[in-house]
């Protein structure tokens, strides 16, 4: 099925074949950027960021500019008419006429889904509350494909705030659709993966899930370690955050027994959960991951806009 004109709200909106098409195109753009430098000439990306972002917003902007298109939007809802009480529906009805494709980040879960009901142009979820972050998942998958060569036969550990981390929810859900992937979920008891998500994965996929609070126990056998920060902005009180904020700090010593080809990923921003000494370890690929996110988003927008064939 063609990707042209479609919305991307949840990673499950894409089949594995469609995800592979986005990854393959993204890597082709990465290797041959000049071939794609004009494909979005005359196209406009609208960015609606109701919540703070560095990578998602700016990588989308970079992606559109690198394809010859233009960008408009807001990075702070307080500087838009949202401050005067304008609804999401009315904002989208207007932006729909100003741009050819839209990306929205919102603190409320489900806001991009609601927005998509008023958009005739493709609407992309740039992260909604503690729910989903599908383009971070595309970023994560293109990175895995780039460094591992394929997305299968992997033991993947997620560490940190698995309760509120939307990047974890999206990637876990998506990886569980791939062949022979098993998971180690490392978190304090207070920040375990939501029960409904774990249950949904176990009921629908043949995967092994180990839950533990210890970062070191499975270090020797994992292929990917996906670190996350404790999501301060989602806590109801500061005391709880302070109690949990230093739960895990990955440093070079903790990697001593890890595989030589371990991939350490992190959606970023980092607070203190990865020490700077890991940055110079060849296994730490989180900055390369952020870079590859630009190419994943170039591919996604090119396909949703129909400037490149879906297959």
The contact set with ligand CP (CB under 6 A) reads 53-56, 127, 136, 267-269
| CB 171, min distance to ligand CP, A | 11
User: Is 229 annotated as a binding-site member?
Assistant: yes
Establish whether 105 is a catalytic residue. yes
Residue closer to ligand CP, measured from CB, 167 or 182: 167
Task: Tell me the two tokens of residue 12.
Answer: 């499950």
User: Is 105 annotated as a binding-site member?
Assistant: yes
| CB 251, min distance to ligand CP, A | 22
Omega cis (within 30) before 92? no
The answer for 149, left when phi > 0, alpha when psi is -120 to 50, beta otherwise, is: left
**Residues 133, 155, 169, 173: which is the catalytic one?**
133
Q: Are 115 and 102 in contact (CB under 8 A)?
A: yes
User: Is 55 annotated as a binding-site member?
Assistant: yes
Q: Are 285 and 225 in contact (CB under 8 A)?
A: no
Residue closer to ligand CP, measured from CB, 171 or 303: 171
Establish whether 218 is a catalytic residue. no
Residue closer to ligand CP, measured from CB, 75 or 116: 75
Report how far residue 115's alpha carbon sits from residue 175's, in angstroms, rounded to the nearest whole number. 27
Residue closer to ligand CP, measured from CB, 39 or 126: 126
Establish whether 57 is a catalytic residue. no
**Residues 21, 43, 66, 105: which is the catalytic one?**
105
Q: What share of the chain is helix, strand, coil (3-state, %, to 5)?
A: 45, 15, 40
User: Is 243 annotated as a binding-site member?
Assistant: no
- Helices 55-66 and 134-148: crossing angle, nearest 10°? 70
Task: Tell me the two tokens of residue 219.
Answer: 């270090």
Annotated binding site for carbamoyl phosphate: 55-56, 105, 133, 136, 268-269
Active site residues: 55-56, 84, 105, 133
């Amino acid at each position: 099925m063609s990707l042209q004109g479609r919305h991307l709200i949840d990673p499950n909106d894409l089949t594995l074949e469609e995800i592979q098409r986005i990854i393959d195109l993204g890597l082709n753009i990465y290797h041959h950027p000049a071939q794609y430098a004009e494909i979005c000439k005359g196209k406009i990306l609208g960015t609606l960021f109701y919540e703070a972002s560095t990578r998602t917003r700016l990588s989308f902007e970079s992606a559109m500019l690198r394809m010859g298109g233009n960008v408009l939007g807001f990075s702070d809802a307080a500087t838009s008419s949202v401050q005067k009480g304008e609804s999401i529906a009315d904002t989208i009805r207007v932006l729909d006429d100003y741009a050819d494709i839209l990306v929205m980040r919102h603190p409320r879960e489900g806001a991009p889904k609601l927005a998509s009901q008023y958009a005739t142009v493709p609407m992309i979820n740039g992260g909604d509350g503690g729910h989903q972050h599908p383009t971070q998942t595309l970023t994560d998958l293109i990175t895995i494909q780039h460094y591992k060569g394929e997305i299968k036969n992997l033991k993947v550990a997620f560490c940190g705030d698995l309760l509120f981390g939307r990047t974890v929810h999206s990637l876990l859900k998506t990886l569980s659709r791939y062949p022979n992937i098993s998971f180690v979920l490392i978190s304090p008891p207070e920040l375990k993966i939501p029960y409904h998500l774990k249950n949904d994965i176990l009921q629908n996929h043949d995967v092994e899930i180990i839950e533990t609070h210890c970062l070191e126990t499975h270090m020797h056998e994992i292929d990917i370690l996906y670190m996350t920060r404790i999501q301060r902005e989602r806590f109801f009180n500061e005391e709880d955050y302070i109690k949990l904020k230093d739960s895990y700090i990955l440093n070079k010593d903790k990697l001593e027994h890890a595989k030589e080809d371990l991939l350490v990923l992190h959606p970023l921003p980092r607070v203190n959960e990865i020490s700077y000494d890991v940055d110079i370890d060849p296994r730490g690929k989180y900055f390369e991951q952020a870079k590859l996110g630009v190419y994943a988003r170039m591919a996604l927008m090119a396909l949703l806009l129909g400037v490149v064939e879906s297959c």
